Amino acid sequence: MSSDALFLSVWWQKSALEMWWFQQGLSFLPVALVVWSAASFVFSYITAIVLHHVDPLVPYISDTGTIPPERCLFGIMLNVSTFLGMATMYIRYKQVSALSPEKPKILRLNKLGLMLGWMSCFGLCIIANFQKCILYYIHVLGACLTFGVGSIYMLVQTILSYLMQPELHSKDIFWARLAVFLWSCSSILSMFVSSVVLYSGLYGQNLVQKLHWDPQERGYTPHIISTVSEWSLAFSFLSFFLTYIRDFQKISLRAVVSLQGQTLHESPGSFRAEEQALLIAGSI
């Protein structure tokens, strides 16, 4: 190896070591998704509490985004989370495809995972734009897509992690994703049972519109169980995406533009013989 090549190799290794962990590869994507989504919950919660729109003790996440101005903040921040979620899931899809190009079972599961993940993101967009107290059934549909279909997405990714270990995945990643998936399932079950009990009619009517609860009221216990389960479920989803960070440190994407003409007014066929590709954007 020449001295110049040796110098470049040492410089590259030193630069890689000096990078912050979230600067490596595309690891900033799941980090941004988790931090931004958590901030959307926390900021809307703080705003709703300061304005006395909800009770301080564990309200429904959706209740903290029901009344303006927190409704506007909640909506726009969750819309950004939808975009970050779709981008993160797409990168994961491309990574698995590149690592297992000749394994049909993994490729089929990978495509299924992407479809389920994007359906879950669409549900999050519905939650952001159709408030619980205004269009309840559409909001519930969005919640079912986000959490129900999203849990199946987590299951598919956990299975993929199992199939890809130990050659491509460590066993620790598989066990971590399995643990988070079971956490989300327990939260869904708890939330479903408590919500069915709460809205069964035993504790009054029109509870959907109720934003303030007295601890002495009938139905307060299933209400608290339901709200705690919802917060637990939301953070189990965020925790699952944290497991992508190490994987995303080892991947980058490049965009390639294929020119069909030297000018914008030429027909594509006139330049086909001289078609050329230019690399732009570098690592995203």
> In this predicted structure, which of 121-125, 234-238, 274-278 has the lowest mean pLDDT?
274-278
Compute φ and ψ for 229, nearest 5 degrees. -65, -40
* Whole-model pTM over 0.85: no
What share of the chain has pLDDT > 90, as a percent?
Answer: 49
CA gyration radius for the chain? 23
- Enumerate the domain spans of the chain: 22-255
pLDDT of residue 6: 45
**Distance (Å, whole) CA 229 – CA 58:** 10
Contact in structure between 53 and 65 (CB atoms under 8 Å): no
Distance CA 44, CA 78 (A): 11
What are 185-200's pLDDT values in tens digits? 999 999 999 888 888 7
DSSP structure class, residue 250: T
* pLDDT tens profile 134-170: 888 898 999 999 999 999 999 999 999 999 887 777 8
Helix H or strand E encompassing 221: helix 220-242
The first and second tokens of residue 227, run together, are: 């709200």
CA-based nearest residue to 157, from 85, 246, 249, 92: 92
The pLDDT score that the predictor gives to residue 136 is 83
pLDDT digits (tens, 9 = 90+) for 198-234: 887 777 677 777 888 888 888 888 889 999 999 999 9
Specify whether the CB–CB gap between 127 and 81 falls below 8 A.
no
Contact indicator for 183, 191 with CB cutoff of 8 Å: no
The more confidently predicted of residues 10 and 222 is 222
Mean pLDDT rounded to a whole number for the chain? 84
For residue 16, with 0-12 CB atoms within 10 Å meaning exposed, 13-18 middle and 19 or more buried, which class applies?
exposed
pLDDT in tens, 91-126: 999 999 988 888 889 999 999 999 999 999 999 999
Residue 257 pLDDT = 77
> Which band of pLDDT confidence, cut at 50, 70 and 90, is reported for residue 4?
very low
pLDDT of residue 283: 46
pLDDT in tens, 69-86: 888 999 999 999 999 999
Residue 222 corresponds to which tokens in the numbers above?
Answer: 């299933």
